[in-house]
Amino acid sequence: MKTIGVLTSGGDAPGMNACIATIAERADGRDVRVRGIFRGFVGLLEGNYLPIAGEVSGLARRGGSFLGTSRNGDVEKALKQHGHQGLFEACGIDALIVLGGGGSLGAAASLAEAGARIIGIPCTIDNDVPCANYCIGFDSAVNRALRAVDEILDTAESLSDRVFLVETMGGQTGHIALATAYSAGADAVFINEQPIDIDGAALRIKTKMDAGATHGLAIVCEDMGTAEIAEKLQDGVGRKVRLTVLGHIQRGGNPTFMDRQIARQYGETAVEMVLSGESGKMLTYACGDIRSMPLVDTIGKSKPIDLDKYKAVNG
């Protein structure tokens, strides 16, 4: 083993840089080179890379990925044309560590099945990689959302008789929205995995506010028709609804302690797995331990939400 490649694919996530830095540090300690591949799988196809030294000062505290990301590219087509050896030769690597979400790790699984030496690390703020208990970036994203909600509630306590609706990111999955709603003590949460019950949410909020509460709070995942939900809530509660869309602030900023710690553990373990000859595996975090499982086990599956927390929020 001489050279390990590392790429980040899909959306960026706080903690990716910390993981990249750890991979470089651990590999350097084992006399192994690391090459960072720009723009995800597109960079792999193009042979677009740079060497990463073992001492990467200040990188771990930065959000996102300095390597940049892209969607998965036409990995299947490239495999047919060049084989995995051709793809690896373009970047001069012997093995590859892929940081990304479900689609990216699915592409990594295809490379592994073709014979490439691959280790996958789940990284997405959506926390929706099948079979992965924790994805790098999730804690940072939820903490950003919680901080915003706390500041909104400071206003809500003085600007009374209003309902505040906060939209989080999450794509088609509600893990961020649910974690934020549960932790903030919201009155309702709307996510793709469950039927939308605006009437029930409006009744709960109206009953609470009629009894003297100064405000109501609901959290909604993006891409669910937020404007329509806000309008129907306003009609049902009989109070003004004020909408805040958090957007990409959840992706940026310095990673939290939890994301930095798990990023380091993932990075250290990934290098050791590559050097011991393991391949086709994805790392996951459970009860403080880092474990691994076959990448192929994640394909075609979805990650369920925590129904107990959903019921706790929505009553």
Q: Report, as residue numbers or ranges, the catalytic residues.
A: 126
CA distances from 75 to 117, 124, 314 (A): 15, 20, 42
Q: Are 268 and 25 in contact (CB under 8 A)?
A: no
Q: What is the CA radius of gyration of the chain?
A: 22
Which SS3 state, helix, strand or coil, does residue 170 take? Answer: coil
Question: At residue 125, what are phi and psi to the nearest 5 degrees?
Answer: -65, -20
DSSP state of 136: B
Q: What is the DSSP letter of 123?
A: B
Identify the bridge partners of residue 290 per DSSP, sorted by sequence position.
285
Pairwise CA distance, residues 70 & 41, whole Å? 7
Residues in the chain: 315
User: How wide is the angle at C-alpha 216 spanned by C-alphas 246 and 156, nearest 5°?
Assistant: 70
DSSP state of 84: H
Q: Residue 309 is encoded by which pair of tokens?
A: 């927390």
Looking at the DSSP bridge assignments, the partners of residue 291 are: 284
